[in-house]
Amino acid sequence: MPTPVLEVKNLKTYFKAEAGVAKAVDGVSFEIARGETFALVGESGCGKSVTALSIIQLIQDSGFYGGGQILLNGRDIIPLSEKEKREMRGNKVSMIFQEPMTSLNPVFTVGDQILETIMLHQKKPAVDAKAAAIEMLRSVKFPNPEAVFDEYPHRLSGGMRQRVMIAIALCCKPDLLIADEPTTALDVTIQDEIIKLIKELKDSMSTAVLLITHNLALVYNNAETVGVMYGGKIAELAPARALFKNPMHPYTVKLLRSIPDRGRRARQLDTIPGSVPPATAYAEGCRFSGRCPREMQGCAAIEPLLSAREPGHFAACHLYDKEFMEKPLSAPLHREAEALPPEGVQPPISTPPDAREPLVRVAGLKTYYPIRKGLLKRVTGYVKAVDGIDLTMKKGSTLALVGESGSGKTTVGKTIIRLIEPTDGEIIFKGARLTHLKESGLKNFRSKAQIIFQDPYSSLNPRLTVGKIIEEGLLTLKPELGKKARLEKIASTLGRVGLDAGAMERYPHEFSGGQRQRVGIARALAVDPEFIVCDEAVSALDVSVQAQILNLLKSIQREFGLSFLFITHDLGVVEYIADEVAVMHQGKIVEHSATEELFSNPKHAYTKKLLAA
């Protein structure tokens, strides 16, 4: 049997922290064969990226190896010298990082950055290296690679930048490619292109691929083997189809039941209570204890071993340990009643009726950006971001706006709530025309229309506490409230989104990604809006956190009769939450219909392309 390209054996990667030793990766084992794609999935904080950085030997100074081996083509790479590790990176193992804009150097051209890798590792002369770089750009599907070679990263789209990262990673034909969230926040069509590209290059070069992602649909379609990671350990390991067909670990089951789709539209999504514990405070036994719906007495004290439950299918759970289950201490805890409830008995969420009163209507809306050139910066043309669209958002309903990056979706949302000035057209809110109102006349509308941004970390002021962040809106839009009333309002709003009043005194960096998004929702809700623009509000969240936020949005919509304009590229989310869907392409609406109709019978070629991806 041929030697696997990568063998990870009982790997332990620890970090020194103020609270003690953080066991980020704590006894992980798996292997990847040549030409195989191995997917590592799990929530943020479970140790996926640290595993990848350990393999490529890029652990920061506070980290150290507590044991184990990393064998690349049979050779343990941990004891290698720094010089040998530098030679290994790029030549034998390469990595595509999650965010290409921050991974590419903005002051060097694309060509310079590919040349650097080729000349460093392949020792080719400049002329040959340039030819190889242009050929690699052609391999990653750039129609004009010579032009891209001389471009700077900021002049390329997100999908194009990710293709540049793939070109850099594969230009030396490595034996192992690590792809760390390579499609996060990319459009569905771009995601499809990137994954197909990685697969084609993997097949042509017989490269082994370690795919790290929280997108389970990508895993199902593209990985041969899946490792589900939790608390620094592998909780389940199986062939991809076997894992999706018969998940064994309660954590895997919960992850899969968190995925939104059309079949769950009238029900709440299953969620995982709590969050991944910090790596300095793992339980002695099963690390999923405390969150597990099937927890039994003794789970938190006795560590389950990862062992075969079916041929090739491994799970680390006491449910499959006959000796443990026969002990008197294995009595179930009270959470088992909530364990894996049948979908039919989950609490229903009301679906708004087809006929609702219009709340917001836009007619002939245009938002153009001038193109200025020359010394005098004369206007020579316009970027037509939004080019004459008509939309109606009904009371208590959700309209999803979908399309690729650059299609104008976010500009529509920001123009409707007047964060961007429209060039032409009408915006009508509850019968009142808003298009030409000055700032002073918009104050009443501002309290009725809010926005939830994609990245809650960058949209929350890091210098203010959560209480002050929410209070800003109340001071501006509800000045009649006294200090006591404001504090009561903030506390009650935080309670609505599942945060306690103590959160008021904490800063944004003290919260997880999902909790920060809840703060963003609380900020929008505090001023009692009737209409909210959700701009990619769940696109970068783990599937379990995404489920919590979607349940929250549906519940507050039902409770307060809110209307949502839901901007997203995740069609699974659209199927679950939207009543109507508008498809946008190059500044125009190309198709608009009820959700069921659009997914069952798309009419426009562009819509069919989105659904196919």
Quick: pLDDT tens for 204-227. 889 999 999 887 878 888 899 999
User: In whole angstroms, what is the distance from residue 609 CA to residue 602 CA?
Assistant: 10
Quote the percentage of the chain above a pLDDT of 70.
94
Residue 443, pLDDT above cutoff 90? no
At residue 457, the pLDDT reads 73
Q: What is the pLDDT of residues 572-603, one digit of tens each?
A: 899 999 999 999 999 999 999 999 999 999 99
What pLDDT was estimated at residue 1? 58
Tokens 């426009």, located at residue: 604
What is the per-residue pLDDT for 341?
A: 38
Instruction: Please determine, for residue 338, whether its predicted confidence score (pLDDT) is greater than 50.
Output: no
**Average pLDDT, integer, range 50-79:** 93
Would you say 250 and 228 are in contact if contact means Cβ atoms under 8 Å apart? no
Q: Give the residue-averaged pLDDT of 130-141.
A: 90
pLDDT given at position 65:
95
Higher pLDDT, 352 or 166: 166
Q: How far does CA 37 lie from the centroid of its chain?
A: 20
**Separation of alpha carbons 464 and 217, rounded Å:** 38
- Whether the predicted pLDDT of 27 surpasses 70: yes
User: What Å distances lie between residue 552 and 233, 538, 544, CA to CA?
Assistant: 30, 12, 13
Q: For residue 158, give the H/E element and its range.
A: helix 158-170
Q: Are 71 and 7 in contact (CB under 8 A)?
A: yes
Average pLDDT over residues 255-266: 83
Query: Are the C-beta atoms of residues 385 and 369 closer than 8 Å to each other?
Result: yes
Query: Over the stretch 150-187, which tens digit does the pLDDT of each residue have?
Result: 999 888 877 788 889 888 988 888 999 999 888 776 77
**pLDDT band at residue 37, thresholds of 50, 70 and 90?**
very high
**What is the predicted pLDDT for the residue at 302?**
92
Mean pLDDT of 302-328: 89
> In whole angstroms, what is the distance from residue 133 CA to residue 148 CA?
11
Dump pLDDT digits (tens) for 74-115: 999 999 999 999 889 988 999 988 776 678 898 999 999 999
Helices 250-257 and 543-560, axial angle in degrees (round to 10):
50
Residue 351 scores a pLDDT above 50: no
Q: Is the dihedral of CA 233, 239, 240, 245 positive or negative?
A: negative
DSSP letter for each residue of 339-398 = SS--GGGSPB-PPPPS---EEEEEEEEEEEEEEEETTTTEEEEEEEEEEEEEEEEETT-E
Closest CA to 402 of 216, 217, 566: 566
SS (H, E, C) 257-297: HCCCCHHHCCECCCCCCCCCCCCCCCCCCCCCCCCCCCCEC
Tell me the C-alpha distance between 87 and 603, whole Å. Answer: 53
Quote the tokens at residue 419: 């964060």
DSSP 204-258: HHT-EEEEE-S-HHHHHHH-SEEEEEETTEEEEEEEHHHHHHS--SHHHHHHHHT
Strands (DSSP E) contained in 513-602 are 531-535, 563-567, 580-585, 588-594
In degrees and rounded to multiples of 5, residue 593 shows phi and psi of -160, 175
Phi, psi (deg, nearest 5) at residue 510: -85, 0
Tally of residues, the chain: 613
Q: Which two tokens stand for residue 179?
A: 């792809």
Burial class from Cβ neighbours inside 10 Å (0-12, 13-18, 19+) for residue 86 reads middle
Q: Which residue has the higher pLDDT, 73 or 537?
A: 73
Alpha-carbon Rg for the chain in angstroms: 26
Residue-wise pLDDT for 479-501, tens only, equals 899 999 999 999 999 988 888 88
User: Of 1-15, 318-332, 362-376, 502-516, where does mean pLDDT reach its minimum?
Assistant: 318-332
Q: What is the pLDDT of residue 337?
A: 39
> In the predicted model, what is the mean pLDDT of residues 228-254?
95
What is the model's pLDDT at position 328? 67
Provide the token pair at 46. 């479970």
Averaged pLDDT score across all residues of the chain: 87
